[in-house]
């Protein structure tokens, strides 16, 4: 039998993935939204939350990992420009 902590951890992970999937389905509608979601989830919302890998993000968005990488690279270039990343700023609220 699995220890209770392991069961809680597995259940928490499944709930988190399900919640993220729902966020993607309801909130990510345009390429700008997709770009913003990738940047935020890859960087991590806070220090306590684990950063998502390119492969995890690609699975959530059902797209190739190369596309995820291009979003991060594009953000790095645009984010260094004055005023920050215009793509992220253009994502819908």
Greatest C-alpha distance within the chain: 56
User: pTM for the complete prediction?
Assistant: 0.71
41: domain range? 4-89
Radius of gyration of the chain (CA): 15
Write down the pLDDT at residue 73: 92
- State the pLDDT at residue 81: 72
For residues 37 and 2, the model is more confident at 37
Helix %, strand %, coil % of the chain (to 5) = 70, 0, 30
pLDDT digits (tens, 9 = 90+) for 63-88: 999 999 999 999 988 887 777 888 88
User: What is the number of structural domains in the chain?
Assistant: 1
């Amino acid at each position: 039998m699995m220890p209770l902590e392991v069961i809680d951890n597995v259940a928490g992970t499944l709930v988190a993935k399900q919640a993220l999937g729902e966020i993607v389905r309801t909130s990510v509608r345009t390429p700008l939204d997709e770009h913003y979601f990738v940047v935020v989830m890859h960087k991590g919302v806070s220090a306590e939350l684990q950063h998502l890998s390119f492969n995890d993000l690609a699975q959530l968005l059902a797209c190739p990992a190369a596309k995820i990488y291009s979003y991060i690279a594009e953000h790095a270039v645009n984010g260094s420009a004055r005023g920050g990343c215009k793509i992220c700023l253009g994502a819908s609220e």
